A and B are shown apart, each in its own frame.
Chain A
Amino acid sequence: MAARKTTAKPNVSADELLAYYKDMLLIRRFEEKAGQLYGMGLIGGFCHLYIGQEAVVVGLEAAAEEGDKRITSYRDHGHMLACGMEPGGVMAELTGRIGGLSKGKGGSMHMFSKEKHFYGGHGIVGAQVPLGAGLAFADKYKDNGRVTFTYFGDGAANQGQVYEAFNMAALWDLPVIFVIENNQYAMGTAQKRSTSTPELYTRGEAFGIKGEVVDGMDVLAVKAAGEKAVKHCRAGKGPYILEIKTYRYRGHSMSDPAKYRTREEVQKMREERDPIDHVRDLLLTGKHATEDDLKTIDKDIKAVVSASADFARESPEPPLEELWTDIYAEV
């Protein structure tokens, strides 16, 4: 983990700080609940939790405008909540119910929202990167000024198609921000064991794509970097790379025994670098909120998450007819 950078922070209001706090806390509590439901057998298959990485998506969403697009990998619950998709709909998809955002047919890794411009939820490592470039291609074609946030991990950064996408995005000046969420482990393989050069933000240099490394445990640093990248893309200068150094507290998926790192490493990160504690400190020391205010927020978020879990348990399984629908769109 790079030392925390003391780059200039954007002017941020108390309201904004509170909003980031709420958004990050919602993701944290939602994912904790998802972990519980998984343990109870209510969620099946793969379930990749975002706990620890909340500042990445919340910071970048703060830099996005209405109509901007986002696309990511299978570790996608945080991205969906951050762009405003219904927690109940996400949770009910995890439990495979008809009330889920994909009617129970997509699962944890596959949800979408046209309304929120969220384009999934993709299970093949790296495949979302050309797709994201393609979304940006469509925006450029339509000349609508939109930007696409294309998220992928340090693991995906070694996939060949990522560099095919870099080349074409740069060649055609596509308005796409390649967000590398470097949580330091590609499943169970530490970055130093998988990657010849660790500076992922330099991976675009060969294509003439600017990149920078960002402290992903600091939501304000992420937001500032995001704004810079968005400005670059919207000005028609082509793609931009943000390598955001972050950390996932939980395993790769629920079935990960996490033997590849020490308990102490995780514990140290949680104690010293937690992105939510960081904003909490800013709120309290800046006197933007009292302990009581934050308790109220906590309580409200728990209620939202609890309601989403109730909905996810109560929503019925999809009727069997659903097996045969949505294979083809009507001509």
Chain B
Amino acid sequence: MATEILMPALSPTMEEGTLAKWLVKEGDTVQSGDIMAEIETDKATMEFEAVDEGVIGKILIAEGTADVKVNTAIAILVEEGEDVPAASAATTQVPQPAAAVAEAAPAGGSLANSGNTAPLAPVKATPPWPEGTKTKKQTVREALRDAMAEEMRGDGDVFLMGEEVGEYQGAYKISQGLLDEFGSKRVIDTPITEHGFAGIGVGAAFGGLRPIVEFMTFNFAMQAIDQIINSAAKTLYMSGGQMGCPIVFRGPNGAAARVGAQHSQDYAAWYAHIPGLKVVMPYSASDAKGLLKSAIRDPNPVIFLENEILYGRSFDVPLIDDYTVPFGKARVWREGTDVTLVSFGIGMAHTLEAADKLAEQGISAEVIDLRTLRPLDTDTVIASVQKTNRCVTVEEGFPVGSIGNHISAVLMEQAFDYLDAPVINCTGKDVPMPYAANLEKHALITSDEVVAAVKQVTYR
């Protein structure tokens, strides 16, 4: 009986991949375990083995095809002497390339009548670079790599250390190509000893270098958090200003997909709590690049929180030499009049999606991406709330002691008279991350929850 061979999921976050190469052709007989194709995922190029034996009846997806969605039929396997069924042969799917998120997101126009539920006309918002600047589409992953490479070219004291950053080319391919360009003196594979190498990084910073320490994920930085806080963050103060610590701790933070409680936590609020640290959590590729370059140049310890799910997303990145983004400056992604949505990192994806849904329902949301959590641009949030009189915060982390809690407190203290409704904090649920797909989905923040919160604060 003919069976479809489906595009496999080869990493926790893989949604699509490139069918890099077929190693079999139509008419070939394959045994279980034979390598049939090479598939490039968001992390690496993997070999794809046959599970069943049979004859390759038809190849449905040509080699070199990018953006093939997981579970798309890529070939038909038939038994010896069997014909390829006509229906299957016709199932060839043309993959839809993943739409790049436009930096210039549509923004809702203002509502003259708050009772109006007609969809709002999209209005272009200005991207945060000069008009007429050329841009290119780039993934967050590529932007981060470019930021490191540019800074390493510019300053010989900058080096990268971490698990699998060198020969493996990065567990998430962020450091791809850096070993080749900079050599093993500056791209250093460490043993799996986070506490130790974080301490060595801090010591190297005391000694005059500018380390970039990659944690494979920030979950593992828990092993090293004493060195980050007690040694990196506090030494400038404890030394009366003598001994600074210019270091960047970076890596993916927050939930990936189906990796369970110990690998799925957002540490934004933890690090944002600490005076002496700077904390960055970018959403877009251009911010990832510009903020990482600023982080590497900063004379202070910087916690740079990336997100595995965002690594593969594409955004417009300006073609500007030495593009940097300053800390402490939030970015308004869309202007609006009915409610202020405040988010950062992957929370922005849910927030922008919610803003689109709200626009369809005639609600105009202003969307603010905090970008850095320490320093925190409360001025931009307050100015927006003075206009909209309502605020919903959106983040993936746990609810108690969240960034949203802090923003709410700031608004109560500094903009109380402008609030027409209590601020709502949309957060991840107050549970360890479950593994089951349905439970995990419920544990995470969704755009529908944001929409519901906005309706609550706008009394609709």
A111, B239: Cβ atoms under 8 Å? yes
Question: What residues of chain B lie closer than 8 Å to A102, measured between beta carbons?
Answer: 238-240, 242
User: Which of B191, B208, B231, B297 touches A138 (beta carbons < 8 Å)?
Assistant: B208
Question: What residues of chain A lie closer than 8 Å to B206, measured between beta carbons?
Answer: 119, 131, 134-135, 138
Q: Please judge, given known A-B contacts A142-B208, A331-B298, A331-B299, whether A326 and B199 are in contact too, CB under 8 Å.
A: no
In this complex, how many residues of chain A approach chain B with their Cβ under 8 Å: the count is: 48
B230, A123: Cβ atoms under 8 Å? yes
B275, A327: Cβ atoms under 8 Å? yes
Q: Please judge, given known A-B contacts A137-B204, A168-B196, whether A124 and B240 are in contact too, CB under 8 Å.
A: no
B414 at the interface (CB under 8 A from A): no
Shortest CB–CB separation between residue A178 and chain B, in angstroms? Answer: 13
CA distance A168 to B194 in the complex (A): 12
B203 at the interface (CB under 8 A from A): yes
Of the four ranges (under 10, 10 to 19, 20 to 34, 35 or more), the interface on chain B belongs to 35 or more
Question: What residues of chain A lie closer than 8 Å to B240, measured between beta carbons?
Answer: 100-106, 326
B386 at the interface (CB under 8 A from A): no
Question: What residues of chain A lie closer than 8 Å to B278, measured between beta carbons?
Answer: 328
Scoring B193, B195, B235, B238 by chain A CB atoms within 10 A of each residue's CB, the highest score goes to B238
- Chain B minimum-CB-distance residue to A329: B299
Question: What residues of chain A lie closer than 8 Å to B208, measured between beta carbons?
Answer: 138, 142
Interface residues in B194-245 by Cβ distance below 8 A to A read 195-209, 226-227, 230-231, 235-244
CA distance A142 to B203 in the complex (A): 14
Residues of A contacting B: mostly: mixed
Question: What residues of chain A lie closer than 8 Å to B327, measured between beta carbons?
Answer: 331
Q: Please judge, given known A-B contacts A139-B207, A167-B191, A329-B300, whether A120 and B243 are in contact too, CB under 8 Å.
A: yes
A127 at the interface (CB under 8 A from B): yes
Q: Please judge, given known A-B contacts A133-B203, A135-B203, A135-B204, whether A165 and B242 are in contact too, CB under 8 Å.
A: no
A110, B276: Cβ atoms under 8 Å? no
B243, A114: Cβ atoms under 8 Å? yes
B380 at the interface (CB under 8 A from A): no
A307 at the interface (CB under 8 A from B): no
A130, B198: Cβ atoms under 8 Å? yes
Question: What residues of chain B lie closer than 8 Å to A138, measured between beta carbons?
Answer: 203-204, 206-209
A134, B199: Cβ atoms under 8 Å? yes
User: Which of B191, B195, B204, B276 touches A134 (beta carbons < 8 Å)?
Assistant: B204
Question: What residues of chain B lie closer than 8 Å to A328, measured between beta carbons?
Answer: 236, 276, 278, 300
B159 at the interface (CB under 8 A from A): yes
- Chain A minimum-CB-distance residue to B277: A328
CA distance A28 to B202 in the complex (A): 32
Q: Please judge, given known A-B contacts A138-B209, A142-B208, A328-B276, whether A131 and B231 are in contact too, CB under 8 Å.
A: yes
Shortest CB–CB separation between residue B152 and chain A, in angstroms? Answer: 13
Q: Please judge, given known A-B contacts A127-B230, A130-B227, A134-B203, whether A164 and B243 are in contact too, CB under 8 Å.
A: no
B239, A164: Cβ atoms under 8 Å? no
Q: Please judge, given known A-B contacts A120-B235, A327-B237, whether A161 and B299 are in contact too, CB under 8 Å.
A: no
B203, A164: Cβ atoms under 8 Å? no
B226, A127: Cβ atoms under 8 Å? yes
Shortest CB–CB separation between residue B61 and chain A, in angstroms? Answer: 45
Shortest CB–CB separation between residue A238 and chain B, in angstroms? Answer: 14
CA distance A203 to B184 in the complex (A): 29
- Chain A minimum-CB-distance residue to B211: A134
A255 at the interface (CB under 8 A from B): no
Question: What residues of chain B lie closer than 8 Å to A329, measured between beta carbons?
Answer: 236, 241, 244, 246, 299-300
Question: What residues of chain A lie closer than 8 Å to B243, measured between beta carbons?
Answer: 112, 114, 119-120
Shortest CB–CB separation between residue B358 and chain A, in angstroms? Answer: 37
- Chain B minimum-CB-distance residue to A328: B300
A135, B207: Cβ atoms under 8 Å? yes
A171, B199: Cβ atoms under 8 Å? no
CA distance A164 to B195 in the complex (A): 8
B190 at the interface (CB under 8 A from A): yes
Question: What residues of chain A lie closer than 8 Å to B196, measured between beta carbons?
Answer: 130, 133, 161, 164-165, 167-168
B460 at the interface (CB under 8 A from A): no
A113 at the interface (CB under 8 A from B): yes
Question: What residues of chain A lie closer than 8 Å to B205, measured between beta carbons?
Answer: 134
Interface residues in B285-304 by Cβ distance below 8 A to A read 297-300
A88 at the interface (CB under 8 A from B): no
Q: Please judge, given known A-B contacts A122-B231, A127-B227, whether A134 and B239 are in contact too, CB under 8 Å.
A: no
User: Which of A122, A161, A326 touches B237 (beta carbons < 8 Å)?
Assistant: A326
- Chain A minimum-CB-distance residue to B201: A134
Interface residues in A20-79 by Cβ distance below 8 A to B read 69, 71
A137, B200: Cβ atoms under 8 Å? yes
A167, B207: Cβ atoms under 8 Å? no
A325 at the interface (CB under 8 A from B): yes
CA distance A309 to B351 in the complex (A): 61
- Chain A minimum-CB-distance residue to B327: A331
Question: What residues of chain B lie closer than 8 Å to A136, measured between beta carbons?
Answer: 203, 207
Question: What residues of chain A lie closer than 8 Å to B244, measured between beta carbons?
Answer: 329
CA distance A55 to B383 in the complex (A): 63
A167, B203: Cβ atoms under 8 Å? no
Scoring A110, A135, A164 by chain B CB atoms within 10 A of each residue's CB, the highest score goes to A164
Would you give 16 A-B contacts (Cβ < 8 Å), ordered by A? A71-B203, A103-B241, A106-B238, A110-B239, A112-B235, A130-B200, A131-B203, A134-B202, A134-B205, A135-B207, A165-B196, A165-B199, A168-B200, A326-B239, A327-B236, A328-B236
Chain B positions near chain A (C-beta within 8 angstroms): 159, 185, 190-191, 193, 195-209, 226-227, 230-231, 235-244, 246, 275-276, 278, 297-300, 327
Starting from the known contacts A131-B206, A137-B203, A141-B209, 11 additional A-B residue pairs (CB-CB under 8 Å) come to A106-B240, A130-B200, A134-B200, A138-B207, A138-B209, A142-B209, A164-B195, A164-B196, A326-B240, A328-B300, A329-B241
Closest A-B pairs by Cβ, 9 of them: A134-B203, A130-B199, A164-B196, A138-B207, A103-B240, A102-B240, A326-B241, A131-B203, A329-B299
Chain A positions near chain B (C-beta within 8 angstroms): 69, 71, 100-106, 110-114, 119-124, 127, 129-139, 141-142, 160-161, 164-165, 167-168, 171, 325-331
